[in-house]
Structure 1
Amino acid sequence: MTATINRRTLLAATGTAALVGTARPAFANPTQQLKAGWTATRQDRALVGRWARDTWRSLVAMTDERTGLPADNIGASVSNPVRSKYTSPTNIGGYLWSTVVAKHLGIISPQESLRRITQTLTTMQNVVHHTPSGMFFNWYDEATGEVLYVDPDGTKPITPFVSSVDNGWFACALMVVRNAEPRARALADSLLDKMNFAYYYNPAARPGGLMRGGFFETSPPDEETEKGNHTGSGPDVYYRKFHYDTCNTEARIAGYVGFALGQVPPTQYYATYRTFPDSCDWSWVEQKPKGVHRTYLGLDVFEGTYEYRGMRLVPSWGGDMFESLMPDLFVPEATWAPHSWGINHPLTVRAQIEHGLDEAKYGYWGFSPASNPKGGYSVYGVEAIGMDPGGYPSDLEATNFDAGFEGCREGANPNPTYGDGVVTPHAAFLAMPYAPRQAIENLRRIETDLHAYGAGGFYDSVAVRSGLIAKRYLSLDQAMVMGAIGNVFGNDLIRRSFADRRAERGIRPVIGIERFESGVA
């Protein structure tokens, strides 16, 4: 299974002694984003600069020289890469924003950056896509740009799907490129201006409306769909019967882009759940939330939170870093929404650190969907801060945490003993804007002590006790690494490039008015 398939269907180096011993690191107030007083040293810049160069090397190795499209993944070799023979709009977008970071850091020249971006965007102008919406299909052959009609595993025929989230990430990349590389602006705009996220917005799904997972251009033979067109014009499409109904997930990026482009009403943001309700009807989820009801844009919102180690925070579905923090690579959520994401993001990072170091005692931290060290692909997270009752575990044994649902359901395993923890380096990079000192030290030890590092940068995951390493590179995970480095060591490069006046006008007033119940007890 691949990164994109699983994510859709299952769904910084001083003052770090506390990280290598048994004591907990001293955290700042969450609103100070865990990094008060941190300034990158020369050693920090040299170390992270090397990581960036090696990570870029893996992305170059993934990318076809003729089309400029990156493969979804390659094995350990970057000198003789074996490419996956498939890619997605998310992977392509990740390569584009990584190119922007590589130029800014001096890894490649401005001329090479422009050449690479132009090559990729020119290919995307010519690939088959859903023309009425300007959206791209889920799977392409990176060597030819052709749409795939057989699933990436090569096992069965598929009907090409048009994903809201995958197209959201590609649109983000176009928005970054148009501002960070003005010489490619016309090309980026030629693609962005055709993308209409109104195709995904279903106003009838719930008061305020929800974003759909996506649609098919033609009816799939193996899935029941809903025929229609939410834009009110053009040919009908076949909608998958799935909406994104929770807030703290990577899927919020599609709504953000829709707000920025003026295509989706802001009520969509408040139609999603912070947690599911606190009644016994919802006792199948991970724990009983606590919170209050508030009204935003005329909609009643239950500001629910979960409890973890003296913190209260809005959970993601799986308790992983990817869902919570990947949108924050682009949208400066903590700045634009200081009373919600500005509190929640640092707490999510703190929870991941405490789980890895204190609760599970792995000695390392950073949990997010990634390659399984035993083979294939799996989801990883801090289960206690996720809603999924099946759980995104943090170890190879898939240890299940179940504290029950107070007053409704007894917990089956409230105090688990954890096994062979699986840490995923890209998760620590996503945390770097909020805990740079801790993240850099954690990653340094993953490289030097666990040896989960190759010529293309950090391998995708490592099991900390057995030492098993998933020796492959995923383009999306490597792109998250590049994006985080660009923000922390490039003066918010990716956020600055995305968050122009249009994006700020469309997104900031929507998210800035909310107040989560997140905080420290």
Structure 2
Amino acid sequence: MTRRTPIGRRRPWRRPVLAAATAAALVLAGSAAAAAEPHGESPDDTLLRYAEDTWTSMAAMADERTGLVADHIDGDLKTASGYTSPTNIGGYLWSAVVAEELDLMSHREARDRIATTLDTLEELERHEPSGMFYNWYAPQTGEKLTTWPDSGDVVHPFLSTVDNGWLAAALRVVADAEPSVRKQAQALYDSMDFGWFHDTEAAGGAGLNRGGFWVDQPGDTCTVPGNYAGEGADVLYTCHWYDTSVSEARIATYLGIANGQIPPEAYYGTLRTMPDQGCDYSWQEQKPEGVVREYAGVEVFEGTYAYAGMRIVPAWGGSMFEALMPDLFVPEAEWGPRSWGLNHPATVAAQEHHGLEEAGFGYWGFSPASDPFGGYREYGVEELGMSADGYASDEPATDVDRGYEGCREGGNTDPVFGEGVVTPHAAFLALPYDRDGVLENLAGIEHDLGAYGPGGFYDAVATTSGTAAERYLSLDQSMILAAIGNELADDVLKEHFVDGRFERVVRPLVAAQVFGTDLG
């Protein structure tokens, strides 16, 4: 495995400053008004109240003995799930850092909570050659799950690229934020080798990360045997790669590149859109426009989609967290003023436009979350998903299909949307790009839709009936706390995440890229 340099203290982080034209482009109809201030609260007080209540739900989900947080808990904060994942565990760790920073608990309590979780992580069963964690554990015992607690169905233990990425990100944060656990967190981080996930032959030799791997064949699931690290026994990789740029999975690429486990040119291997090559890719949502550029010897089609008078690099499903979750830790907008610095605010503007103007829901913020009518569903702005059946924003799901010029006719060119479903964590992710719009939107979700309980915002709410998914998902709650922490505490998570080595290696890659994003 490649050895990393220790994560140490660094200069104070500078918050990104958006150009005036970019900021102005966010002022959409209905979103320019000052944020609501119920009960005489200032905007900062409102955010702090949200953080306090959200931390209540995270603390309720955490097992006192193991320090492992459950995947979710019911709205009354009494019944938690019997499983958790590396992402959930990582979210709890960075949430504890934020909670201490915002004085929601003492330093001693934060230190003890973090130490308990790290002690358990050291004992969890892992794939030892890679140092990676399996995807599901029992929060009460730390046991690797082979059957689901609720149904008894078989679980084929899987090692996920993106889930390990989020846990590794959290380990970077706590190693820097809490000196008493630095050595322990650093050792766990150092043991994780992202080279195990990286297929250097994919994307014409630029390389892509597989979705993950199994140690044993998972039934009849498609697998590819191999070993990208060249040590230890072969594993069984997923048959897919993470091949889109606007994806939460890019956190693993950042980490692997910074650690020297993934080649730098892999940053350019993912797709902005599928290419515009006749009708070969006409299955994608719309016909892209773009130009070919070359970075580090890698030819890239810098494609974009049209939406609401803008040109935007889409995500696979069109959700907010695909676009903005990595931005909680990596200062993408500042480092990439010609790429993420344009695309992030454009994504926010598009989500606002869809919820307030196109669909007329009166609210916005669409990401995968609990379904208010039962189960779990992926929500997004469907036209901003590369997948032709991308994530819809409503119930029942509306498939917008405007066709693909010269290849296929549109199947639903004048959509009529059903009942909207908004997910509060998606709105929180937009805080750096439209604070007033976010606070106004959340005030309506809290007071008009009533989607607020003892642990903060419920996971999702239907905008017509006010039907709420009265549960809290630890992943979504941790994104809320991360966003509030960065907003109120000067990008605290970015400061703890980024060190000198990371910036020296990753920043030039991000800075070089030029998206075709146009805010209109």
Q: Same fold (TM over 0.5)?
A: yes
Partner of residue 247 from structure 2, selected from 249, 253, 259: 249
Alignment of 1:123-162 (within 5 A): 123-151=120-148, 153-162=150-159
Determine the structure 1 residue equivalent to 2:469.
470
SS for the counterpart of 1:102 is helix
Maintained 8 Å contact 1:30/1:519 = no
Alignment of 1:12-411 (within 5 A): 29-30=21-22, 34=26, 43-78=42-77, 81-151=78-148, 153-207=150-204, 208-279=206-277, 280-411=279-410
Return the offset for 1:33: 8.1
SS for the counterpart of 2:367 is coil
Maintained 8 Å contact 2:213/2:235 = yes
Return the offset for 1:219: 2.8
Return the offset for 1:152: 5.7
- The CA deviation string for residues 399-455 of structure 1, in whole angstroms up to 9 with x for no partner, is 111111112111111121111100000000001111111001100110000000000
Distance 1:32 1:186, change over 3 A: farther
- Partners in 2 of 1:444 and 1:130 — Cα distance? 45
Determine the structure 2 residue equivalent to 1:452.
451
- Partners in 2 of 1:152 and 1:250 — Cα distance? 27
Maintained 8 Å contact 1:76/1:471 = yes
Greater CA deviation, 212-221 or 349-358? Answer: 212-221
Code of the residue aligned with 2:196 in structure 1: it is Y
- Partners in 1 of 2:108 and 2:191 — Cα distance? 27
Return the offset for 1:37: 13
Distance 1:28 1:449, change over 3 A: farther
Greater CA deviation, 226-235 or 32-41? Answer: 32-41
- The CA deviation string for residues 476-498 of structure 1, in whole angstroms up to 9 with x for no partner, is 00000000001111100111111
- Partners in 1 of 2:464 and 2:79 — Cα distance? 29
Code of the residue aligned with 1:184 in structure 2: it is V
Code of the residue aligned with 1:166 in structure 2: it is D
SS for the counterpart of 1:410 is coil
Aligned residues, how many?
A: 493
- Partners in 2 of 1:230 and 1:33 — Cα distance? 44
Code of the residue aligned with 1:496 in structure 2: it is E
Percent identity, please. Answer: 55
Determine the structure 1 residue equivalent to 2:7.
none
Determine the structure 2 residue equivalent to 1:19.
none
- Partners in 2 of 1:490 and 1:236 — Cα distance? 45
Distance 1:349 1:48, change over 3 A: same
- Partners in 2 of 1:453 and 1:39 — Cα distance? 18
- Partners in 1 of 2:25 and 2:200 — Cα distance? 36
- Partners in 2 of 1:299 and 1:344 — Cα distance? 21
Return the offset for 1:391: 2.2
Maintained 8 Å contact 2:25/2:519 = no
Distance 1:153 1:293, change over 3 A: farther
Return the offset for 1:178: 1.0
Code of the residue aligned with 2:282 in structure 1: it is S
- Partners in 2 of 1:88 and 1:414 — Cα distance? 40
Q: CA RMSD in A?
A: 1.9
Determine the structure 1 residue equivalent to 2:505.
506
Return the offset for 1:141: 0.2
Greater CA deviation, 409-418 or 35-44? Answer: 35-44
Code of the residue aligned with 1:209 in structure 2: it is G
- Partners in 1 of 2:170 and 2:36 — Cα distance? 27
SS for the counterpart of 2:425 is helix
SS for the counterpart of 2:230 is coil
- Partners in 2 of 1:369 and 1:159 — Cα distance? 23
- Unmatched segments (≥5 aa) in structure 2: 1-18
Determine the structure 2 residue equivalent to 1:22.
none
Maintained 8 Å contact 1:31/1:342 = no
SS for the counterpart of 1:413 is coil
Return the offset for 1:222: 2.8
Work out whether 1:437 is the aligned partner of 2:436: yes
Runs of 4+ with >6 A deviation: 35-42
- Unmatched segments (≥5 aa) in structure 1: 1-26
Return the offset for 1:190: 1.4
Code of the residue aligned with 1:30 in structure 2: it is T
The normalised TM-score by structure 1 is 0.92
